[in-house]
Amino acid sequence: MATEVKVPTLGESITEATLGQWLKAPGEAVKADEPIASLETDKVAVEVNSPVDGVMGEQAVAEGDTVEVGAVIALVNEGASAASAATPAVADRNAVGQAEAAAPTEPAAAPVDGDDDPKTLSPAVRRVVLEHGLDPSKIRGTGKDGRLTKDDVLAAAKAQGQAKPVAVSAPAAGAPVAAVAAGARKEERVRMTRLRQTIASRLKESQNTTAMLTTYNDVDMTAVMDARNRYKDLFEKKHGIRLGFMSFFAKAAVLALRDVPAVNAAIEGDEIVYRDYADISVAVSAPQGLVVPVVRDADKLSFAGIEKTIADFGKRAKDGTLKIEEMKGGTFTISNGGVFGSLLSSPIINLGQSAVLGLHRIEERPVVRDGQIVARPMMYLALSYDHRLVDGREAVTFLVRIKEAIEDPTRLLIDL
C-alpha cells in the first residue's frame, strides 16, 4: 500500500515553496516522522516528514520545482522492503551502473552520493565535494542530523592542504582534450534559492517604498567592555549563557524607542501606527542567507533572557529549524555587521518598520579625553530610517540615546 506525502501547511499567507533537496532516494527505508525532503519557503527551510514506516517510492517532483501546499510530492510504500521497493527508475539506474562497471573506465573520484551513502548531500555540497575530490564519508558533518555543510567540506579541503579545487577525474587515455588557454575565465550559473529571491525582492521594495536616510555616530565601548569582563563569569555561572554585547544594545534600543516613539512606529496607508512594545528583529546569518527572527517583548526581558533568545536563534538558524512565525512582525531591527569585520555600512530598513540600527566592529582609535589623546575601543553606529515618518532631529536624538546608554551602562539599570 502506498501512502501519499503531501506539502504541509507552511504558515499564514504562504501557499507555495521550492523543493530544495530530497533527503531520501527511491528504494530507501524510511520511518514515520523521518525527514524525506526539504522545502524552501520565502523565509525558512521546512522539512517534510514521512507519514508512515516503509520504503521511499516514486518522487513526483524534482529538486528546484515549485510545489503548492497540499500537493503530492512522493509516495511511501508501507510494508515493503528496501530491496523490493525500488522504482523502475532506480532499477534502470542500477542497470546502467552495472553496464558501466563492465566496461573499462577512467579513474573515478570518491563516491559522492547514492542509495548506500548514509550522508545525503545538497547540490551545493555535492559540487564542492566533487571539486576537491574528497570522500564525504570521511568528513564529519556539523549540520542537522550530522549532515555535511559546505563549510565542513571546505574545512576538510583546507586541512588536506588543498589551495585549489582538484579535477574530479582524469581523461581516458587517447581521448581528445580541449585546449584551455592560460588564464581562461569561467562562468557558472546557479539558480537562486527561494529565500535569496525573497531577500532581493524585499530589499528592493524597501528601497522603493521608503524615504531612506542614514545618520551616523560613534560610541566608546570602554564601559560596556569593562562591565562585561567584570561580570561575564558570574553571569554565565548563574544564567548558563555568555554575556555578549547584543543584550546591552537591545536594552539601549528599548530606552531610546521609549524616548523617540516615531522610530518604533510604522506607516500603514495614511495612518501612523505607534507601538507601546518593543519586538526587536535581530539579523542572523544562516547557510541559506540572512534571516531576521524577532525577540518578542524585548522591553520586558532581562539581559539573560535576551542573550538566551538570540543564542537560540543563531543555533537554529544554522540548523535550518527556525519557524516562520518567529520571523514575523518586529518593530525595530538591530544588524551586527561587526562580527564579519565591517567598519561602516548603511543598513536597509526591514519592510514594515521605520528604522534599523547597524553595529560595526570595535577597534582602538585615538580620541580626546580631558584634553589628552588616548586610545579607546570605538564602534561606529548607523541608523537608517524612513524620513517620511522620522525627522532628522528624532533620528539623531535616538542615536545619541543609544550612545549615552552604552557609554554609561548604569542608565540601563535606572531607566534613564
Kindly list the catalytic residues: 387, 391
Give one word for 139, left, alpha or beta, with left for phi > 0 and alpha for psi -120 to 50.
beta
**CA distance linking residue 237 with residue 336, whole number of Å:** 26
Q: Which long-range contacts (CB under 8 A, 24 or more apart) does 189-197 make?
A: 191/64, 193/18, 193/20, 193/40, 193/288, 193/289, 194/17, 194/18, 194/20, 194/40, 194/41, 194/42, 195/40, 195/41, 195/42, 195/43, 195/44, 195/45, 195/288, 195/289, 195/291, 196/288, 196/289
Q: Take residue 240 and report the three cell numbers written for it.
A: 548558563
Number of helices and strands (H, E) in the chain? Answer: 9, 19
Which of 289, 191, 310 minimizes the C-alpha distance to 244?
310
- Evaluated on CA atoms 309, 310, 311, 317, the torsion sign reads positive
Strand-pair category, 289-291 with 332-336: unpaired
**Which residue is it, cell 517620511?**
388
DSSP conformation class of 245: S
Query: Is 252:263 a contact under the CB 8 Å cutoff?
Result: no
What Cα–Cα distance (Å) separates residue 97 from each residue in 105, 114, 119, 219, 267? 12, 11, 20, 64, 61
> What is the DSSP secondary structure assignment for residue 413, as one 8-state letter?
H
Pairing of strands 363-369, 372-386: antiparallel
Label the pairing between strands 284-286 and 289-291.
antiparallel
* Residue owning grid cell 574530479: 168
According to DSSP, the β-strands at 16-22 and 66-68 are antiparallel
CA-nearest of 416, 395, 290, 406 to 332 is 395
Tell me phi and psi for residue 342, to 5 degrees.
-70, 130
Radius of gyration of the chain from its Cα atoms, rounded to whole angstroms: 26
